[in-house]
Structure 1
């Protein structure tokens, strides 16, 4: 039996502790690893509410020198909330919760809002103290000894540094150190000194003890007066894990944002050095498939050979999951009503109505009225669910075509024009929240195109229905370390159009379970996207049975957490 302690900022096994894909991993991976005789406990901040909500037991406190003060951090312990993975339930892991006022933000949010002039300032201080408290709790015996310490993203980079360089925590070197990167674009960079949120302010004594060689592992290669927690995790851990094989290759190359390539984000030299030592591992994240362990080979992907019984079984399951044309109108109408109710619920929490919500309600009402008339009902639903960030939708914001950019038309406009041409009764529904400037742009596009329903927010149930009822899922991410949306769409038999990067390339088989587009710059990517969209819509029109077979093939794909757990045991924890 091997014991692992995961240190993470997020955990979707706990209500309210999810922001991104890391939370899904911390939710689903520990129970899967239990089947490999690996017990995983998780250490995370309490964020001001978790211990109280889940009746965690206080097991003690740690006292740490942080800056000029001795800070007291409380530690609570609770059983991991019950979670099922692949039909199996595991209850033998625990969650350590660290409580301090610096860990709490307004509304019990995981991350602080921050400011443009001092990025990461509050969060970097929070996680620096959290890392120090975890190290001290381990030294004090509040956390029993483990075989592996598994740190996740920059939030745990300082703990890797303390293990390597602080004599007080040399005991941590007795266990293996694995560092997982979920998103290399976020690195937690802060000044070395001259700020209350700086390395010297947090660790004044250690700052004086470090040699020049040690300091080189801490400093950011682009900003020599700053420390980089992500770089610390990469250079000072035993193994670095990326959440897909393709992403593990992409991060070895320098980014070229102007031409639409996101790679090492300034840390490619560190990544390449680690790669040359044989210490970088790319393991794709998994997806939860209820009560289904069939069709999986050792790589976690279903075998390419499919017999007739498999196809019949898959088609039967897909028919159950997705309504046929006889019931499609009813289901689409229910989706429209659900969307309206969701937006109205959001409006009820505000003092004044947002223009974007008013446009959304107007479009939903228009389509609902047409839905009553069966002759003009929605016959093709294109969907997208995700954060409104440049990672996810930069491409949709590009001028298209480039030579006509003075018209103000974007790729999203062009996409909707093609949808209207090839699917006159088709609709694109996009559910997402994020940066205000992107929401404003999409709001304006929604006002120009009746076949675009932009729902500016997030609702889990509505998201689930979009995955289930959609005919074509759009995921044009500029980079995607792994991605979960495409897996959720495919599970429901919805084929995807996606950029051939990162985990998207590793999970979608071009022209078999979806379509991939590429391009050597943003303009070329936009051209390829439109061409692939035309091909997909034309196939649906001209060869609906072949399109149906692609939906079945997509629904058969399996990226099981059980197979992921085997790879962790063999490649990370051996």
Structure 2
């Protein structure tokens, strides 16, 4: 029996520990490993809350800032029990909940300042737990994104953690654009402040642009035994330099990724999607679930500042209860540059989309929260356009309804390492209209399972996005057999975790 440890900032197998697709991956891959009869331990920070109903396992003592630190390891109960999987959290008072999904902090003036501190503590506690064999003797440690890469720094340079060297370490990149860059020195949230007794090889650790800083994403790429991008096309993208907004590639780390590829350490393996035990809403509840979500949010203290807007959305939805639109286009996503750059830079293009939908008695439903400037843009557009319904919050039931009842799912991501939303939409037989980039290229085939657009220049991309929408709406209205064929093809597609994890065992884990 092989013994695995998954280390992550998110884990959707336990309640209230997800901000994005990484949480889905860390939930689903261990389940596949467990089906093979192998053992998996999954560990995330407690964020001051997730340990509260947990079982205390042990105290972990280590040095940081020339001081003794003690963190606590708790075993916690998952949403669903699976054999051979154990879930843990690390608690320490300085590992605090952030303002994004009660996980990440948003420090606009000094990015990563607060998160770096909490993940420095978390990673050191994890390294100490591995050293003490709190999870037994490990064969593979699978790290996810920059929040966990400091474990590799400790393995490489910290004399206390040399015992980690024989273990195979795998590093998955979920979002290369977020790199966890912090100063080497002269800052409370700096490497030297937290690890004053560890000799720093600045050349091996530095960010190319800010050479007085460590790049934690780069640390993962440089020191892992295997590096993993979450789709084959994204692997190809990241080997090339970025040229935004036309092309998002290696984000300044393409040389590190090229080196990993030359050394046979870089693998592009598509994420899977869950096709079992799905929580399904009944059809026909999309407007009711919107109203229920709005009433719930209106009672929350934190939503007081947008109460007027939530009431405005509720009034708009009530019109559609009796006069149901004939066509629903939708998007469910965090409101960020990655997901909606095209709409933020070209709101007139989004208005054109709404005008085209109006002609077929269609609406656009968008659900999400995120960057304040994106929330503000979509609130303004919602006030101005009757057929744009913006639900500015999070609701699992409403998300399920949107995936189930939409006619066309819109995903115009600027870049997309893999994407899960298009898979969830396709699972419901819902054709997607996507920007053909990264994992969207690997999952949506133009005019076979959905619709794709691209272009050599930004302006061409915008034009092609609108032309592709025209094509989709024309097919929906005038060629129902062709539309139904695309729906059926989309529903038949299977991006299974079994297939992905077979490749993990072969390439990432070397346990075939």
TM bucket (normalised to shorter chain) is over 0.9
Q: How does 1:487-502 map to 2 (within 5 A)?
A: 487-502=423-438
Q: 8 Å contact 2:155–2:161 — kept in the other structure?
A: yes
Separation in 2, partners of 1:101, 1:322: 42
- Relative to structure 1, the CA distance from residue 154 to residue 565 in structure 2 (aligned partners, 3 Å threshold; closer, same or farther) is same
Q: Is the 8 A contact 1:217 1:231 kept in 2?
A: no
Q: Which residue does the alignment assign to 2:447?
A: 511
Query: Which residue in the other structure is 2:328 paired with?
Result: 381
2:475 matched residue in structure 1:
539
Question: How many residues are matched?
Answer: 507
In structure 2, what is the equivalent of residue 417 of structure 1?
355
Contact kept in structure 2, 1:9 and 1:110, CA below 8 Å: no
Aligned-pair CA distance for 1:448? 2.3
- Name the stretch that deviates more: 37-46 or 522-531: 37-46
SS of aligned partner of 2:6: strand
Q: Which residue of 1 aligns with 2:300?
A: 349
2:393 maps to: 457
Once the two structures are superposed, what CA deviation does each residue of 1:484-538 show, in whole Å capped at 9, x if it has no partner?
A: 1101100001000001111111111111110111112322111110010000000
Matches within 5 A, 1:294-443: 331=284, 334-350=285-301, 351=304, 354-369=307-322, 371=323, 377-399=324-346, 410-421=348-359, 423=360, 425-443=361-379
Aligned mate of 2:272, from 261, 265, 286: 286
> Which structure 2 residue ranges, 5 or more long, are not aligned?
none
Shift of 1:137: 1.7
CA distance in 2, matches of 1:335, 1:82: 27
Q: Is the 2:270–2:418 Cα contact (8 Å) retained in structure 1?
A: yes
Aligned counterparts of 2:357 and 2:491: Cα–Cα separation in 1: 24
Instruction: Give per-residue Cα distances to partners, 1:434-475, cap 9 Å, x unaligned.
Output: 112111111222222221111111111000001001110000
Query: Does structure 2 conserve the Cα–Cα contact (< 8 Å) formed by 1:82 and 1:91?
Result: no
Note if 1:154 corresponds to 2:146.
Answer: yes
Q: Which residue of 1 is the match for residue 232 of structure 2?
A: 245
Judging by fraction of residues, say which structure has more helix: 1
3-state DSSP of counterpart to 1:104: coil
Contact 2:281–2:397 at 8 Å: present in 1 too? no
Q: Deviations over 1:137-190 (max 9, x none)?
A: 222232311111111100111101111122221111111111011001111111
1:234 is paired with a residue whose SS is: helix
Spell out, residue by residue over 1:204-254, the C-alpha distance to the aligned partner (whole angstroms, 9 max, x if none): 111xx23xxx32221111100111111101001111011111111111111
Which structure ranks higher in relative contact order (CA pairs < 8 Å, sequence separation ≥ 6)? 1
Which whole-Å CA distance do the structure 2 matches of 1:461 and 1:253 have between them? 40
1:559: which partner in 2? 495
1:62 equivalent among 60, 63, 66:
60
What SS class does the counterpart of residue 101 from structure 1 fall into? coil
Alpha carbon RMSD of aligned pairs, Å?
1.9
Partner residue of 1:174 out of 150, 166, 183: 166
SS state at 2:357 partner: helix
Residue 258 of structure 2 corresponds to: 272
Partner of 1:298: none
Name the residue aligned to 2:94.
102
CA deviation digits over 1:8-39, x for unaligned, max 9?
Answer: 11100111110111110111110111223432
Structure 1: segments with no counterpart, 5+ residues? 84-89, 293-319, 324-330, 372-376, 400-408
| TM value normalised by structure 1 | 0.85
- Secondary structure of 1:50 counterpart: coil
- Aligned residue for 1:428, secondary structure, equals strand
Change (3 A) 1:353 1:65: closer
Q: 1:50, CA displacement in angstroms?
A: 2.2
Max radius of gyration: which structure? 1
Cα distance change on mapping 1:160 and 1:364 into 2, 3 Å: same
CA positional deviation for 1:79:
5.9
Q: TM-score scaled to structure 2, two decimals?
A: 0.95
Give matches, 1:137-216, under 5 Å: 137-206=129-198, 209-210=199-200, 214-216=201-203
Aligned residue for 1:111, secondary structure, equals coil
In 1, Cα distance between the equivalents of 2:222 and 2:509?
18
